[in-house]
A and B are shown apart, each in its own frame.
Chain A
Amino acid sequence: MSSLNTSFSRTNRIFENARRMSLVRHEIEFPLAANIIQISSRLFQILDRSDSVQTEISRRLWVLRSTVLFTFLPFNDSDLKLELQMKELKFAAESIPETSTMIESLGKCISEILTYPSNPKREWLNHHISESAKNVLEKTGILTALSAGKTPGWPIEKTTQLKELIGSIIPIASRKTLKSNIFQNIILPCACNNVSSLLLTDLLFSGIASTFDILLYPGEKFHIPKRLMLPDDDLFSSRLQKSEIEREVLMVSGNGSAEEDSWLNEAFWQGLHGANRTSSYGLSPARYILFYDGAGVFLPADGRVITLPADGNVRNEADLDLLPVGNISEGDIVVLRSGDSGSLLDNASERIMGRADNESLLETATNWKEPLDALLLTHTCADVVKELAERGISTRVASIHQWVGPEVLGPGDERVFRELINLLADKGKIQKSGVDLTSYADKCWHGLQVIRGLHQKAGNLIRQDLFKALFKKFGNRSAPVTFSDRDTIHIEGDTDAELLIMRVNSVDTNVAYVPQSRLGKIDDLKGNKWLG
């Protein structure tokens, strides 16, 4: 076997894994867990989750059930608090008499499980570890980010013990771990219905392992998530080869996860941010980021945020990455400005705009937005796309929507921009023609280009300022910086901003729609019941 130290051997192995990848569902016989799954499913069916009391019962029920299914600890481990959880659930459910029989049965199962000598998944893992020790050349990974927030069954107090248990097995807590490792096999401790969809998709489809061992009690169902794929085309589709698991995905429709898991995945984020999932006037698309220190923030879905290398290796300004918000993942170290706006870039742009005496430039460059807004009163974005297509311009409905709003300056392509202006003039929304119209378009386009230049300059300026501030605080640039879950630094000069450096715990993969005022505003979620 070749070493995996070079990019070629690594890439070769990834393609090989993608070709022969296999999923092994290990159904571990354990009737008690099967009973718990069955009873909790029936309970979920009768609970009305539009009622806040019953929502709380559902949450407790999910945590209890997941503690049993996710954990590798002995069930009677005091940090799992199974007995206490059951007691609190019973107490909460007293107000719903129709649940009493099932709660009682569940209580019996929990009492019985507490007397069970071992944990069957733990036994499987111990056996696997002794087997894999024979092959020291190959790595095994284990997925540990089983849900957003705190993972039931993996108490923080037992982190060291769990690390000792898994020994040389590499814990996979984020998409970052996937980028630097190739595994012989990866262990998935449960059905993974609460794992971030981005993480699970990357894990299964990026060729980082050839075998996935999925540990399931009877009643746990693992479904392969559907991956976004290129649409078939006329020329190539018949010549491409799909792997076994991709064929399996095509045969199964729907996500198939348990009702309680699907509910929990949305209820968790609603419990943290409570934002709309559908677009409406005055709301901006955003993504919610939860940090390890119990803070959370909405960032514009199409925005960018500065990130630092998670390993602390900050050697030069190029190590400070401007990452699209949609690409933020667990374990990322992001930099936000404290206060009402988390955006650093806007602030720096304003500084530069002020310095350059260009305050009216934005107005000049974007005053075509008003005519576009006026056109959209009588036409849909799709109409505009169609009209532009007739003029030989290919664009998207989402682009029109973005151009009219404040988040995006306008078309990045000059030809597209000029045709848009011509269209607005033809529709009578810009009262100009001939040379006047051309000169108007020239002026706007020039303004847009100048502002784009300033934005780029702002990005560079921030990197420089931040880089200086980082080393003022952390010192020696030859050694990696050790970041805690939350650090603060100050950028000196005319911003005098306090910057927060925070480690991402989870990301809401679904877009939410929020008022502008919520963007960048940091929420303190300490004490929120959804964070345990």
Chain B
Amino acid sequence: MFPANISLRISVLDGNESVRLPDWAAALIWLGYWCRINQQPGKRLIVFTVLPSRELSAAFAGIGCLIAGASVFEDCLSWTTFKNLPLGQNVFWINRNTMANYCGEIIGFKEYGDAEFIVVKVTKAPRKAEVGFIREISKSYFDEYRFTEEKPLSAPKKLSFDAALQLLKSIVENLNPKWVWADGAEALILSGLSKFENSMEGISLSIDGNPPVALSELLCIGRNKEQTHAKLRIDHPRGVINGRFPLAILDGPHAFEKHEHLHSVANLLILLDRSEYNHGIQDTVLGLRSISQDITSGICTPLPEKFAHGIEISAYLIDA
């Protein structure tokens, strides 16, 4: 369920000035939420949004994705997930008792009677002597280690994820704290990296009067080309885009050009400003409209009564 009254509960600290979350930002948070949460097997939701300005729109839509992802998070069986990883995959783990960080490569799975083991070759360890060791970790000891496919965060980054988690807890009912540390991002943002990062400078958000958290930290964002843990990923709309995501936010016309290359992404949210919406893009929209299925069936979450002035939205549902 999308949190109620976010415009009243979220305030934006812009430099020294604090203001209530504006309607346009609230609308974008809702859109990000809606596009992330509506996942239909075999279907693809494609949403176009044209705005007077798209500056910061991907960031606010990103917050909506995080709220959605945190709301639907279910703790999965890591052992089963791990058993399905391909050989050669790099994995990271932390010994919960000693807090030592390791990196290794999966070289196999073994069964001795009823006992199952992951076999990993250690490639990075606190002590050099451990590098190159083959370790067999049994299912029963699995819980002593926190395994991830993504590189664990550095200490300062971990603090900012903690801060983001605390803030999101106030708006997402029954948020499972494991969500923020679980592998997998809620969305991929395709955007100009420096412009995206610069636009967030000096902006913090506060929810229900809790201490504000910088927008750049709240997004728990990481580069797509890096294996570092992140809840949102960002990439420049150039070259090959890798990764599986429930949603891609295509920020601007350059990013839109990549829409035909995002097979491993379920839904698409395209953000354009008014001067960027052109006949070429409209041709694509009209093409989608001609093959779109009944979007009202299977769509959860009630829609807002009215969107902020100046926001245009068209949504289409097609076979994936």
8 Å CB contact of A389 from B56, B203, B289, B291: B291
What 0/1 readout, one digit per residue, does chain A (221-240) give for beta carbons within 8 Å of chain B? 00000011111111111011
- Asked whether any CB of chain A lies closer than 8 Å to the CB of B132, the reply is no
- Asked whether any CB of chain A lies closer than 8 Å to the CB of B312, the reply is yes
- Asked whether any CB of chain B lies closer than 8 Å to the CB of A360, the reply is no
Stretch at the interface among A80-88, A408-416, A438-446: A408-416
**A394-B287, A395-B287 are contacts. A10–B15 as well, Cβ < 8 Å?**
no
- State in angstroms the CA–CA spacing of A9 and B56 once bound together: 11
Task: Name the A residues within 8 Å of B304 (CB-CB).
Answer: 239
Check if B55 sits within 8 Å of A7, measured CB to CB.
yes
**A6-B202, A9-B14 are contacts. A198–B309 as well, Cβ < 8 Å?**
no
- Asked whether any CB of chain A lies closer than 8 Å to the CB of B279, the reply is yes
B274: min CB distance to chain A, Å: 5
- Asked whether any CB of chain B lies closer than 8 Å to the CB of A507, the reply is no
B286-301 residues at the A interface, CB under 8 angstroms:
286-289, 291, 294-296, 299
Stretch at the interface among B46-54, B89-97, B140-148: B46-54
Check if A396 sits within 8 Å of B238, measured CB to CB.
no
Check if B56 sits within 8 Å of A233, measured CB to CB.
no
Task: Name the A residues within 8 Å of B312 (CB-CB).
Answer: 229-230, 240
Stretch at the interface among B17-25, B70-78, B108-116, B206-214: B17-25
- Asked whether any CB of chain A lies closer than 8 Å to the CB of B153, the reply is no
- Asked whether any CB of chain A lies closer than 8 Å to the CB of B315, the reply is yes
- Kindly name the residue among A11, A14, A205, A234 whose own CB sees the greatest number of chain B CB atoms within 10 A: A11
Check if A198 sits within 8 Å of B287, measured CB to CB.
no
**A17-B52, A398-B283 are contacts. A228–B309 as well, Cβ < 8 Å?**
no
A414 to chain B: closest residue by CB? B263
Check if B311 sits within 8 Å of A240, measured CB to CB.
yes
- Asked whether any CB of chain B lies closer than 8 Å to the CB of A253, the reply is no
Check if A230 sits within 8 Å of B275, measured CB to CB.
no
- Interface size of A in residues (CB-CB distance below 8 Å): 55
8 Å CB contact of B314 from A198, A233, A415: A233
A285: min CB distance to chain B, Å: 12
B312 to chain A: closest residue by CB? A230
Check if B308 sits within 8 Å of A241, measured CB to CB.
yes
Task: Name the B residues within 8 Å of A5 (CB-CB).
Answer: 15
- Asked whether any CB of chain B lies closer than 8 Å to the CB of A15, the reply is yes
- Asked whether any CB of chain A lies closer than 8 Å to the CB of B163, the reply is no
- Asked whether any CB of chain B lies closer than 8 Å to the CB of A192, the reply is no
- Asked whether any CB of chain A lies closer than 8 Å to the CB of B261, the reply is yes
Check if B287 sits within 8 Å of A15, measured CB to CB.
no
Check if B52 sits within 8 Å of A416, measured CB to CB.
no
Check if B314 sits within 8 Å of A14, measured CB to CB.
no
Check if A413 sits within 8 Å of B260, measured CB to CB.
yes
- Asked whether any CB of chain B lies closer than 8 Å to the CB of A280, the reply is no
- State in angstroms the CA–CA spacing of A389 and B91 once bound together: 42
- Asked whether any CB of chain B lies closer than 8 Å to the CB of A516, the reply is no
Task: Name the A residues within 8 Å of B130 (CB-CB).
Answer: none
Check if B314 sits within 8 Å of A230, measured CB to CB.
yes
A373-426 residues at the B interface, CB under 8 angstroms:
389, 392, 394-396, 398, 411-416
Check if B56 sits within 8 Å of A206, measured CB to CB.
no
Task: Name the B residues within 8 Å of A324 (CB-CB).
Answer: 253
Task: Name the B residues within 8 Å of A228 (CB-CB).
Answer: 277-279, 282
Check if A19 sits within 8 Å of B309, measured CB to CB.
yes
- Asked whether any CB of chain A lies closer than 8 Å to the CB of B183, the reply is no
Check if A15 sits within 8 Å of B310, measured CB to CB.
yes
8 Å CB contact of A207 from B14, B52, B56: B52
- Asked whether any CB of chain B lies closer than 8 Å to the CB of A175, the reply is yes
A116: min CB distance to chain B, Å: 40
What 0/1 readout, one digit per residue, does chain B (304-320) give for beta carbons within 8 Å of chain A? 11111111111110110
Task: Name the B residues within 8 Å of A235 (CB-CB).
Answer: 295-296, 299, 303, 315
B202: min CB distance to chain A, Å: 6
B294: min CB distance to chain A, Å: 8
A398 to chain B: closest residue by CB? B283
Check if A239 sits within 8 Å of B307, measured CB to CB.
yes
B188-229 residues at the A interface, CB under 8 angstroms:
194, 198-203
- Asked whether any CB of chain A lies closer than 8 Å to the CB of B150, the reply is no
- Asked whether any CB of chain A lies closer than 8 Å to the CB of B284, the reply is yes
Task: Name the A residues within 8 Å of B15 (CB-CB).
Answer: 3, 5-6
Check if B309 sits within 8 Å of A10, measured CB to CB.
no
- Asked whether any CB of chain B lies closer than 8 Å to the CB of A523, the reply is no
- State in angstroms the CA–CA spacing of A11 and B23 once bound together: 12
- Asked whether any CB of chain A lies closer than 8 Å to the CB of B41, the reply is no
Check if B313 sits within 8 Å of A236, measured CB to CB.
yes
- State in angstroms the CA–CA spacing of A5 and B279 once bound together: 33
Task: Name the B residues within 8 Å of A198 (CB-CB).
Answer: 275
Check if B275 sits within 8 Å of A243, measured CB to CB.
no
What 0/1 readout, one digit per residue, does chain B (248-287) give for beta carbons within 8 Å of chain A? 0000010000001101000000000111011110111111
Check if A230 sits within 8 Å of B313, measured CB to CB.
yes
Task: Name the B residues within 8 Å of A111 (CB-CB).
Answer: none
- Asked whether any CB of chain B lies closer than 8 Å to the CB of A8, the reply is yes
Check if B313 sits within 8 Å of A240, measured CB to CB.
yes
B291 to chain A: closest residue by CB? A394
Check if B307 sits within 8 Å of A326, measured CB to CB.
no
Check if A206 sits within 8 Å of B273, measured CB to CB.
yes
- Asked whether any CB of chain B lies closer than 8 Å to the CB of A147, the reply is no
- Asked whether any CB of chain A lies closer than 8 Å to the CB of B156, the reply is no
Check if A396 sits within 8 Å of B308, measured CB to CB.
no
Check if B278 sits within 8 Å of A230, measured CB to CB.
no
Task: Name the A residues within 8 Å of B12 (CB-CB).
Answer: 8
Check if A15 sits within 8 Å of B291, measured CB to CB.
no
Check if A236 sits within 8 Å of B50, measured CB to CB.
no
Task: Name the B residues within 8 Å of A6 (CB-CB).
Answer: 14-15, 201-203
**A231-B285, A236-B307, A239-B303 are contacts. A11–B313 as well, Cβ < 8 Å?**
no
- State in angstroms the CA–CA spacing of A411 and B239 once bound together: 15
What 0/1 readout, one digit per residue, does chain B (164-195) give for beta carbons within 8 Å of chain A? 00000000000000000000000000000010
A6-49 residues at the B interface, CB under 8 angstroms:
6-12, 14-15, 17-19
- Kindly name the residue among B12, B307, B313 whose own CB sees the greatest number of chain A CB atoms within 10 A: B313
Task: Name the A residues within 8 Å of B314 (CB-CB).
Answer: 230-233, 236-237
8 Å CB contact of A236 from B282, B285, B303: B303
A324 to chain B: closest residue by CB? B253
Task: Name the A residues within 8 Å of B23 (CB-CB).
Answer: 15
- State in angstroms the CA–CA spacing of A239 and B48 once bound together: 15
Task: Name the B residues within 8 Å of A229 (CB-CB).
Answer: 50, 277, 312
**A11-B56, A243-B310 are contacts. A396–B284 as well, Cβ < 8 Å?**
yes
Check if A326 sits within 8 Å of B287, measured CB to CB.
no
- Asked whether any CB of chain B lies closer than 8 Å to the CB of A201, the reply is yes
Task: Name the A residues within 8 Å of B278 (CB-CB).
Answer: 228, 326
Pull 14 A–B residue pairs with CB atoms less than 8 Å apart, ordered by A. Answer: A7-B55, A7-B199, A7-B200, A9-B17, A17-B52, A18-B309, A206-B273, A229-B277, A231-B286, A232-B314, A241-B307, A243-B309, A395-B287, A396-B283
Please name the 8 residue pairs, one residue from A and one from B, whose CB atoms are nearest each other, closest first.
A18-B310, A207-B52, A19-B309, A7-B199, A18-B52, A236-B313, A233-B314, A413-B260
Given contacts A15-B51, A396-B283, 10 further A-B contacts (CB under 8 A): A7-B55, A8-B12, A11-B24, A12-B24, A14-B53, A235-B299, A236-B315, A243-B309, A394-B288, A396-B284
On B, residues with C-beta under 8 Å from A are 12, 14-15, 17, 19, 22-24, 48, 50-53, 55-56, 194, 198-203, 238-239, 253, 260-261, 263, 273-275, 277-280, 282-289, 291, 294-296, 299, 303-316, 318-319
On A, residues with C-beta under 8 Å from B are 2-3, 5-12, 14-15, 17-19, 175, 198, 201-202, 205-207, 227-237, 239-243, 318, 324, 326-327, 389, 392, 394-396, 398, 411-416, 456
